[in-house]
Amino acid sequence: MNVIETSGLSKSFGNIRSVIDLSLAVPAGSIYGFLGPNGAGKSTTIRMLLGLVKPETGTISILGNSVNRLRNQALNEVGAFIEDPDFYANLSARTNLEILGRLNGGISAERIAQVLTTVGLTARADDRVKAYSRGMRQRLGIAQAILGQPRVLILDEPTSTLDPAGIRDMRHLILRLAREENMTVFLSSHILHEVEQMCTHVAVIDHGRLIRAGTVAELLGESGKIIFEIRVRPLEKALSIISAELDTRPTDVSGDSIKVAASREAIPGVIRRLTAARVAVLAVIPRTSLEDYFLALTAGLTE
C-alpha cells in the first residue's frame, strides 16, 4: 500500500518550472528520502503535498484521499515540520504543546507527556523555549508535528541547521518514530550520509524532474555507472587521460585523488592507458555510498 501518491505533478513560478510531471509512490511504513540539489523542487513539492501551494497539473493523494479535492480529510492524519517552527518563546515547551492541543480539539496531558519523552525533552519540558538550543527547538518542532498521533510525518530538511550531535539525535528520533509510533516518514534532505543510514527508500529529483526512485539497496546495486576513486601520480597527466578515455569530467579532484563516474567494464582500459603513459596508479576504489551515487546522477553522468 502506498500512503502518498502523486501523478503528473507540475508547478511553475513565472517562467521558472519548479516541478515537472512528478510521480511518486511512498510505501506504508517506509522512511522515504526526497533528495535533490538546491532549487531542485523539493520544498515546492512538499508544500503541494500539504496543500500550501496549488499544483498547476497533476494529482496528490494521501492515505487514499485527494489533497486536490479533500484537503482537510487528506491531511487529517498527517503531521508536518517545515522551515523553523514558531513557538511562544516566553512559555515552556509543555505549555506550547498544551496550547496547540487545545487548538486541535484537545490533547490529553498524558499524550503531551508521552510526546515530550519521545523527543527527549522531559527534563527540560518546563523551561522557557527561549532558553532552548537549536537542536532542542527542532525536537520540539517534531513534538508539535506528532502530537495528534499522525500516520504520516512530512519533514522538510529536519537536520539542516544542526551540528553533528544534533544530526545524530534527529536521526535516532526519526528511526524511533517510524518503529515505535508506526509512522511513514517522508523527508527532504541534502545530508546524504544521514539519509543512507535511516531511509528505506529514496527519490532523486533535479530541475524539477524525477531522476530515480526505489529502495536504497536497489539504487546502490544498479549495474550502470558508479563513482570510482582513482589515486594517481602525477595528477594533471592522469586527469587528461581519464577525461579523454571516459569522455566525461570528474565529479571531484583533490590531492592525488580523482573521482569519476564510469561503468565497471570501462575501468581496466583506463588503468592500461594510465600505466602505458607512466602514470603511477596507487589505488582504484569503487564508491557505492548514496552520496557518490547522488553526485553521479545530478552531474548527469549515469545512463
Domain of residue 168, CATH code: 3.40.50.300
Task: Please indicate, yes or no, if residue 220 is contained in any of the structural domains.
Answer: no
* Last residue in a domain, options 149, 184, 215: 215
Name the helix (H) or strand (E) containing 77.
none
- The sheet with strand 252-254 has its strands ordered as 252-254, 257-262, 226-233, 280-287
Give 86 or 296, the one with higher predicted confidence: 86
Does 303 score more than 50 pLDDT? Answer: no
Instruction: Return all residues near 217 (Cβ < 8 A) that are at least 6 apart.
Output: none
Q: Which residue has the cell 484521499?
A: 65
* Last residue in a domain, options 215, 242, 266: 215
Task: Please indicate, yes or no, if residue 303 is contained in any of the structural domains.
Answer: no
pLDDT in tens, 102-118: 887 778 999 999 999 99
Quick one: 75 and 171 in the same domain?
Answer: yes
3-state SS, residue 293: helix
Task: Please indicate, yes or no, if residue 29 is contained in any of the structural domains.
Answer: yes
Q: What pLDDT, on a 0 to 100 scale, did the predictor assign at position 302?
A: 45
Quick one: 146 and 239 in the same domain?
Answer: no
Q: Which residues pair with 65 in a beta bridge?
A: 62
- In this prediction, residues 133-147 reach a mean pLDDT of 91
* Last residue in a domain, options 215, 244, 263: 215
User: What gap in Å lies between CA 175 and CA 34, rounded to an integer?
Assistant: 16
pLDDT in tens, 251-261: 789 899 998 88
Name the pLDDT band for 123 (thresholds 50, 70, 90). Answer: very high
Quick one: 58 and 205 in the same domain?
Answer: yes
Quick one: 127 and 80 in the same domain?
Answer: yes
Domain of residue 260, CATH code: 3.30.70
Total structural domains within the chain: 2
Task: Please indicate, yes or no, if residue 134 is contained in any of the structural domains.
Answer: yes
Quick one: 252 and 115 in the same domain?
Answer: no
Quick one: 230 and 81 in the same domain?
Answer: no
3-state SS, residue 202: strand
Residue 262: domain span = 226-298
Q: Which residue has the cell 552531474?
A: 299
What are the CB-based long-range contacts (under 8 Å, 24+) for 63-66? 63/3, 63/151, 63/152
Task: Please indicate, yes or no, if residue 202 is contained in any of the structural domains.
Answer: yes
Quick one: 137 and 275 in the same domain?
Answer: no
Are β-strands 201-206 and 16-27 bridged in parallel, bridged antiparallel, or unpaired? unpaired
Quick one: 9 and 145 in the same domain?
Answer: yes
Name the pLDDT band for 218 (thresholds 50, 70, 90). Answer: confident
Task: Please indicate, yes or no, if residue 221 is contained in any of the structural domains.
Answer: no
Give 172 or 224, the one with higher predicted confidence: 172
Q: What are phi and psi of 133, to 5 degrees?
A: -75, 170
Tell me the three cell numbers of residue 144: 508539535
Task: Please indicate, yes or no, if residue 178 is contained in any of the structural domains.
Answer: yes
**What's the one-letter identity of residue 164?**
P
Whether residue 181 contacts residue 149, with contact meaning beta carbons closer than 8 Å, is answered with: yes
Query: The whole model's pTM is what?
Result: 0.76
Quick one: 246 and 124 in the same domain?
Answer: no
Q: Which of 82-96, 160-174, 214-228 is the least confident region? A: 214-228
Quick one: 230 and 208 in the same domain?
Answer: no
Quick one: 132 and 38 in the same domain?
Answer: yes
- In this prediction, residues 207-229 reach a mean pLDDT of 79
Quick one: 60 and 99 in the same domain?
Answer: yes
